[in-house]
Structure 1
Amino acid sequence: MLMHNPPHPGEIIKELCLVPLGITVTDAAKGLGVSRKTLSSIINGKAGISPEMAIRLSIAFNTSSESWINQQSQYDLWQAELHRDELHVTQLVAA
């Protein structure tokens, strides 16, 4: 079952991880071992959570990597479903 309009995982990182802890994007990027540009792209919804980033986030915030991947999958699927009518697909049935 699809979540209704799920937030981009970057929004979750910002609102539930960085803001409550008072951590800047620069400090979080250093802690995650990535560039500030990489983390900023995720937080601003310009890039998604890769499996490697999911592991980094799970270590840094004591969460599961699966939760980050699931959030990204839900977001991606919701975005794709918004364009379902633009796909030119014919339903295939047994002859």
Structure 2
Amino acid sequence: MSADPNRGLALELERLRGTPGEGPAEIKGALALLVHRTDRVDQELGDQREALSGLESRVDGAESAISAQANHPARLAAVERLVWIEVGAAAVLGTLGGWAVGALL
């Protein structure tokens, strides 16, 4: 009972027949997965860029508010000057009003 040498070859060829069809299918599946991941990463990157742009806008707004307050000491001095002028005027008017009332009584 000798084994047919062609039988082993036939079995090996039968086993290998499915291999060429499986290779491209695996490659296509891997490529589809990579495309899906790339799309997801691109979407996340776009979201991060939008968030960064929003933060940059907020920082710009804060910087402009700070620069608007840069002349705060000069504005404060002007307000204080006006207050002291008004206080002095009120004191003078109060004194004159007191004299006038005293003169009438």
TM-score normalised by the chain length of structure 1: 0.25
Structure 1 or 2: more helix by fraction: 2
Q: Determine which structure has more spread, i.e. the larger CA radius of gyration.
A: 2
